[in-house]
Amino acid sequence: MDSRRTAARLIVPLSYQPSVASATAYAPVNIALIKYWGKRTIPLHLPLTDSFSITIDAGTTTTVTQSTLSDTVSLNGTPLDPSSPFYLRLTTFLDLVRPHPAFRFAITTQNDIPTAAGLASSASGFAALVLALNRFFSWNLSTQQLSCLARLGSGSACRSIQAGFSHWKRGTRADGLDSYAEKVPAEWPELAFGILLLSSKQKTIGSSDAMRRTVDTSPLFPLWASCVERDLEQLLKSLEGNDFDLFGRTIEQNALTMHATMHASWPPIVYWQPETLSALHAIFKARADGLPLYATMDAGPNVKLFFQKNHTEEVVKLFLDIQLTKLTLH
């Protein structure tokens, strides 16, 4: 099954003609709490395991209109060259939903993500694009269908269709129509989040290639699925009672386990920098001294911190450069 056929199953026989002159939509960035690492089907971005995330008060606003001669893409006010990687990735996705081969799009996208904060914008970007296309063509897709369609652009985009806690189910179908993210209702007003930007350098290996190498070469990877299953169960339990220590232990161990599988790959994949280790040791020490503070990390050197609002002052004193960012649960 390829992405074009899956997209067709989602939007055919829906309208392929614009119903409005332009359509705009916003989607938030999501932070993975239980990680997505490894694909069972690469073209459809189908994961080997479930994953779980929460959104933050930052994201992408995208406007879709019809163009005349060629596809145009503007990112943060700058028109992109047709040879740029972002332009090519976006237009490849648009090929899945063109009404006819001659139809051209004009895409304007703006990120309000903290500058160089180490937050991947592809998830919020493709989610915002799909939401805008849904309005542009009046498809009236369900959130489940929107999540599946966004996943075809970027796997984790399926978790940015709705704000709040989100559970991405791996699914089993070859066409991926049962692999989507569902909102998990939970109230946790005291939960707080911050970002430690430790390096803004370009990664030496992209996430997709790193996933593939980990799956193919890491002797630890066969254990990953059982770890995710355990961690997901623990995380859901922590949300039921707002058990912060259980929440923090679970997300930190899940992140460290993911990085351990990468470290054991060959050639090794090590995103950590000396500053990463220093930050982690500072977190471990602070926690040993009584401060409930936990970390998570994606495929990169930067560290995301979770704590409770009543400890914000202590966390800021420990990390003066932390970028505090509001979580969105609704």
Domain ranges, residue 233: 191-328
Instruction: Please report the pLDDT score of residue 15 as a whole number.
Output: 61
**Domain check: are 204 and 123 in the same one?**
no
Q: Do 257 and 171 fall within a single domain?
A: no
CA angle 317, 248, 221 (to 5 degrees): 125
Q: What is the CATH number of the domain that holds 236?
A: 3.30.70.890
Contacts of residue 117, defined as CB under 8 A and 6 or more positions apart, other chains included, come to 195, 197, 302, 323
* H helix runs in 45-172, sequence order: 85-94, 122-136, 143-151
| 107 and 14 assigned to the same domain | yes
The count of domains in the chain is 2
pTM above 0.85, yes or no: yes
Tokens describing residue 219: 């002797």
With a CB cutoff of 8 Å and minimum separation 6, the contacts of 40 are 46, 47, 48, 170
Residues 168 and 206 placed together within one structural domain of the fold: no
124 with 154, same domain: the answer is: yes
Query: Given pLDDT bands bounded at 50, 70 and 90, which one contains residue 204?
Result: confident
User: 179 with 208, same domain?
Assistant: no
Q: Between 311 and 114, name the one with better pLDDT.
A: 311
Quick one: pLDDT at residue 13?
Answer: 63
Same structural domain for residues 176 and 201? Answer: no
7 and 109 share a domain? yes
pLDDT, tens digit (0-9, with 9 covering 90-100), for 129-181: 999 999 999 999 999 999 999 999 999 999 999 999 999 999 999 999 999 99
> What is the CATH classification number for the domain harbouring 103?
3.30.230.10
Domain C-terminal end among 157, 184, 211: 184
Among residues 162, 184, 206, the one where a domain terminates is 184
